[in-house]
Structure 1
Amino acid sequence: MSSSVATRRAASQGRIADFNQTVILNAIRRSPDGVSRVELAAATGLSAQAVTNIVRQLLASGLIAEGRRAPIARGKPRTMLNLNPDGQYAIGVHLDPAVITYVILNLVGETLAHASRPTPADPDPELTTREIVAQIEELITETGVSRGKIVGVGMAAPGPIDVDRGVLVDPPNLSGWQSVPLRDAVRDAVDLPVLLDKDVTAAASAEKWQGGGGNFLFFYLGTGVGAGLVLNDEVFRGKTHNSGQIGNMIVSNDGLPCSCGYTGCLGEGSHPRRLVQHGLAVGALDDDVDLDDRLQVEAALVQLADNALTGRAEAIGVMDEMVRGILKGCEDITLLLDLDRIVFGGPHWRTLSPFFTEERFSELYRRHALQSIQPITVSGTRIGEDVGAVGAASLVLDHTFSTNPAVLLAG
């Protein structure tokens, strides 16, 4: 046998071993109450000896731990295996034009620490990156986690992005952030592996990680809107990892004019600046607002929502039009892709959620053409305002649990 053939065979065997280890680790993750070695062999199709060897390696690495002993009808009780929460950690950062959010997750996806800071009104890329790095270091110090157990930092940011190069291409609501190499800048500063993905992709990943698989739409409400998609239990990214750009979906014949040249675009009708501008125009707000000052716009959006909740008719009309457009967009997306669930979330969900009432959802159910075949369900995110950062950290942990065959066949 030639040395090159032997090398390739050894590499292939190594990838198979890594793949089998990941299969076992993922099976343990999906069994929160614990799983025995016998059950792992049955679930994965691996031999009992292979399972024993892999479990020994995972125990030695600290990724799993032995737990309770479960009695069986005959024979010795079986020792159950669980993930070791402190086996690994991941950091997540969500850069939204309104707020930057940070979390540290343990191996089972629990949040150990979080922080959030308003995004500066005119965020300079270099200065903001330094602030992000400083906050990451502060969280590591605060939690006291071992740096050697941190597998990486996930960065979630508005698109479009170049995932392969780790570059923010031209986010529409972050002026001056064209072609910013955010991934490498953070990686070089913190000396940890860093990945960069779209905010809506990260948010969908967070919901999936927390047990919400299947086929669903994550509707992201931040400074912009976006659609995170999970199809057949997998996060859908598209060819360039920029799926979910839905701002220019037309959802109204008489909506606001959009910079794209059309009227009634989904993103324009739900953008905080345009909502506040609309509120000022119809008398739903009393005080003047500098529409070029993001912090003033954020405060005015909260005031607009409060005015609507206290019964001010003009404010109710603004919010009603926004909800109608968003639900029309959700209806079109779910019908196009045959989805059965919608999850709302993002930095502005807490402010806007009171207007997404069961009555409004009932209108969606009545219009939905597939409701009689597969009822569609609607809910807010179970994760809260940290969903983007949690998702970014989840993407890092996904590398630990990934069983993507493409990884096995590469090279």
Structure 2
Amino acid sequence: MGMAVGVDIGGTKVALALVNEQGNISRHSKLKTDKSVEPAVMIQRIIDAIEQLLKEEGLEDSQISGIGIGSPGPLNSKAGVISCPPNLQNWKDVPIVEQVRAHFPVPVVLENDANAAAMAEKWLGAAQENQDFAYMTISTGVGAGLFADGKLLGGARGNAGDIGHTVVDPSYGQCPCGQKGCLEYIVSGTAIAKRGSELAGETLTTEKVFQRYEQGDANIVPYIDDVFRLIGVACVTLINTFDPEKIVIGGGVSKVGEPLFTKVRDYVSHYALNPAGRETEVVPAQLDQNAGVVGAAGLILAN
């Protein structure tokens, strides 16, 4: 049975897993993302952790089909380089594929983390039957992975789908990227916790903000209703631009569930340009917890 290693690099942790051809995880581990060390040192820790997974499974390096790596962008997937992720500020033009490949005699593939999660949903999740779909993640950041004609749409360097920095409402102020009113600056989990706390006059987590919303807090309800509307705007933009059969929404913010999906579907049904586009399915992701590592392994196993 073929097996691959999936690596999901995040701003706070790196998740690793050994995944088989059915998408089942046999071994997994996590590392803290140490931003105090040079990227090459952190990558060596990832290499050591992969070696440990293989040792625990009783596998030689050459017995795996490959290693898939999902990373925040911007990156250059074709060159195997992580360019300049905002949440990994000292990772500038890091040749991660070259360093990993020097230790393992197998294929090593790098993709944007949203693309890796989209691969997981295509392989095993909510989009198995779809050839054209968009996966949108709304968590610490906002991004999308896109499938067209059954193939992952990467763009020139692998950064297609970075919808978090689409301007949707300049009145919300300046995003750290420099533009005013970016989607991510308004609807990400980080943004919801920050703005919700400001509106409530006390420090709240994203989950607490949603609890206040469900309780009908008059300070919170208008803002969260607008968050849902702007997620709808993003979905309509994806529909008008890429004509997908389905939009799959994952990430921590999607856990609020039906209040979000009901309002987003309603927005799509009114404002997608093509009447057929107004019927585009909008559904929750099925593989959220392990989508990153499973999707990263799927870059090897599902192609």
TM-score past 0.5 threshold: yes
How many percent of aligned residue pairs carry the same amino acid? Answer: 27
C-alpha separation in 2, matches of 1:306 and 1:140: 43
Give the C-alpha shift of residue 353 in structure 1: 4.2
Say which one has the larger Rg.
Answer: 1
1:366 is matched with which residue? Answer: 270
Query: In the TM superposition, what whole-angstrom CA distance separates every residue of 1:97-149 from its partner, at most 9, and x where no partner exists?
Result: 24422222212333323344554476752343233223323332344445442
* Secondary structure in 2 matching 1:240: coil
Query: 1:272, 1:212 → 2: CA distance?
Result: 29
Offset at 1:396?
1.1
Provide the rounded CA distance (Å) in 2 between the counterparts of 1:327 and 1:181.
Answer: 37
- What is the distance in 1 between the residues matched to 2:31 and 2:217? 31
2:71 corresponds to 1:157:
yes
Q: Are 2:228 and 1:323 equivalent residues in the alignment?
A: yes
Q: Distance in 2 between matches of 1:119 and 1:176?
A: 12
> Counterpart of 2:49?
135
Would the alpha carbon gap of residues 122 and 365 (structure 1) be closer, same or farther in structure 2, given more than 3 Å must change? farther
Alignment of 1:142-291 (within 5 A): 142-145=56-59, 147-190=61-104, 192-210=106-124, 211-283=128-200, 285-286=202-203
| Cα shift at 1:372 | 4.3
Which is worse superposed, 245-254 or 154-163?
Answer: 245-254
Q: CA 1:130/1:318 → structure 2, altered by over 3 Å: closer, same or farther? A: farther
In structure 1, the residue matched to 2:213 is: 308
Residues 328/170 of structure 1: CA separation in 2 closer, same or farther (3 Å cut): same
Q: Which amino acid aligns with 1:265?
A: C
For residues 371-390 of structure 1, the aligned pairs below 5 Å read 371-372=275-276, 375-390=279-294
Q: Judging changes above 3 Å, is the alpha-carbon distance between structure 1 residues 179 and 149 closer, same or farther for their aligned structure 2 residues? A: same
Q: CA distance change for structure 1 residues 324 and 187 in 2, over 3 Å: closer, same or farther?
A: same
The residue identity in structure 2 corresponding to 1:185 is: Q
SS of the residue 2:147 aligns to: strand
Q: Partner of 1:334 in structure 2? A: 239
Q: CA deviation at 1:351?
A: 4.5
TM-score for the superposition, normalised by structure 2: 0.86
Using a 3 Å threshold, how does the CA distance of structure 1 residues 350 and 342 change in structure 2: closer, same or farther?
closer
Q: Judge conservation of contact 2:141–2:190 (CA < 8 Å) in 1.
A: no
Q: Which amino acid aligns with 2:280?
A: I
Which is worse superposed, 260-269 or 193-202?
260-269
Shift of 1:373: 6.5
Three-state SS of the structure 1 residue aligned to 2:164 is: coil
SS of match in other structure, 1:90 = strand
Aligned residues: 300
Instruction: Spell out, residue by residue over 1:18-46, the C-alpha distance to the aligned partner (whole angstroms, 9 max, x if none).
Output: xxxxxxxxxxxxxxxxxxxxxxxxxxxxx
Aligned 8 A contact 1:305 1:351 in 2: no
Residues in 1 aligned to 2:28 and 2:215: alpha-carbon distance in whole angstroms: 32
Offset at residue 312 of structure 1 (A): 3.6
Counterparts of 1:373 and 1:354 in 2: how far apart (Å)? 21
Distance 1:252 1:163 in 2: 31
- Give the secondary-structure state (helix, strand or coil) at the position aligned to 2:40: helix
CA distance in 1, matches of 2:223, 2:32: 25
SS at match of 2:165: coil
Partner Cα separation in structure 2 for residue 120 and residue 352 of structure 1? 31
**Shift, 1:225, TM fit:** 1.3
TM-score normalised to structure 1 length: 0.65
Q: Structure 1, residues 193-252: CA drift from partner, whole Å, max 9, x if none?
A: 321111122122222222243211111223321121111111111122221122221222
Does the 8 A contact of 2:47 with 2:103 survive in 1? yes
Is 1:343 matched up with 2:257?
A: no
Partner SS state of residue 161, structure 2: coil
Distance in 2 between residues matched to 1:387 and 1:93, nearest whole Å: 11
Output the aligned Cα RMSD. 2.7
- Residue 332 of structure 1 and its aligned partner are, at CA, apart by 1.0
**Aligned letter for 2:90?**
G
Higher normalized contact order (CA 8 Å, seq sep 6+, divided by chain length): 2
Paired position in structure 2 for 1:404: none
The one-letter code matched in structure 2 to 1:179 is D
1:385/1:124 Cα in 2 relative to 1: closer, same or farther (>3 Å)? farther
